[in-house]
């Protein structure tokens, strides 16, 4: 089995880090590894804001739902979808800027996800741990203000990076038969497979270090999709220049 496949299958979120810093040369290599990810139309529509200021980190931790590991990780970054950088050159070449189309938003957001995940894989390959922080979208306008993000840029998620001070269990994923279909979308056998998976997830929460809430996968996602989720995002994105034409 490939060592890369083993690495990817062993991914865990790390929320407790040692105080060991990351060598600057290694950190730059990790960023370059992220940059090497695929980028649609060569847009390279990602910008990372590396947050080292302790006060800013503390504020972001609060804005993200009091996630204290934002403050304690060796590095904390905010990954942003960026149409401003490329858009600057529309004026340079006397061309109209049409960067507020939905497709451009999708391209930039996908670029961010691909870049971050490539960086994460590189980081985990050298013994580092990570935790994505989607909670920055709880208060995205305040995060923009804190980081001075201009129009045409929005924060997609944060990323904690550091040397792990815990060894959590790997959380089981849905069966491959549920998430991969042949030729057409169908749900044949999915209900039974998910029922069995739900039992596995309940057992995972029952036995994992520190315990857990004990809810199955289907219980968690039905709760997620039955409630309003960050309803401010549509207006926030429009204010940042993403109007979804």
Q: Which residues contact 137 (CB under 8 A, 6 or more apart)?
A: 155, 156, 157, 230, 233
- 73 within 8 A of 161, measured Cβ to Cβ: yes
CATH of domain 3-168: 3.40.109.10
CB under 8 Å to 165, separation ≥6 — which residues? 16, 17, 18
DSSP string, 48-64: EEE---HHHHHHHHHHT
Whether the model clears a pTM of 0.85, i.e. scores above it, the answer is: yes
Rounded to 5°, the CA angle 87-32-13 comes to 100
Query: What are the pLDDT digits (tens) for 185-244?
Result: 999 999 999 999 999 999 999 887 566 678 999 999 999 999 999 999 999 999 999 989
| Extents of the domains making up the chain | 3-168, 171-227
Q: Which residues pair with 131 in a beta bridge?
A: 160
pLDDT tens digits, one per residue of 142-183: 999 999 999 999 999 999 999 999 999 999 999 999 999 999
């Amino acid at each position: 089995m490939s060592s890369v496949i083993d690495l990817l299958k062993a991914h865990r979120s790390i929320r407790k880090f040692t105080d060991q810093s990351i060598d600057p040369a290694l950190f730059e290599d990790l960023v370059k590894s992220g940059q090497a990810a695929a980028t649609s139309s060569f847009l390279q529509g990602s910008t990372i804001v590396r947050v080292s200021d302790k006060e800013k980190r503390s504020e972001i931790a609060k804005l993200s739902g009091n996630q204290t590991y934002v403050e304690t990780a060796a590095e904390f970054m905010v990954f942003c979808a960026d149409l401003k950088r490329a858009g600057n050159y529309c004026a340079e070449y006397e061309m109209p800027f049409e960067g507020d189309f939905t497709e451009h938003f999708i391209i930039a957001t996908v670029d961010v996800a691909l870049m971050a995940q490539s960086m994460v894989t590189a980081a985990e390959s050298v013994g580092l741990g990570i935790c994505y922080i989607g909670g920055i979208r709880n208060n995205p306008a305040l995060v923009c203000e804190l980081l001075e993000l201009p129009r045409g840029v929005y924060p997609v998620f944060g990323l904690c990076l550091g040397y792990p001070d815990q060894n959590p269990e790997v959380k089981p994923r849905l069966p491959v038969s549920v998430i991969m279909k042949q030729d057409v979308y169908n749900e044949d056998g999915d209900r039974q497979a998910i029922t069995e998976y739900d039992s596995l997830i309940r057992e995972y929460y029952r036995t994992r270090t520190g315990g857990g809430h004990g809810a199955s996968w289907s219980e968690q996602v039905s709760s997620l999709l039955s409630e309003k989720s960050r309803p401010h995002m549509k207006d926030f994105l429009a204010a940042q220049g993403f109007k979804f034409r």
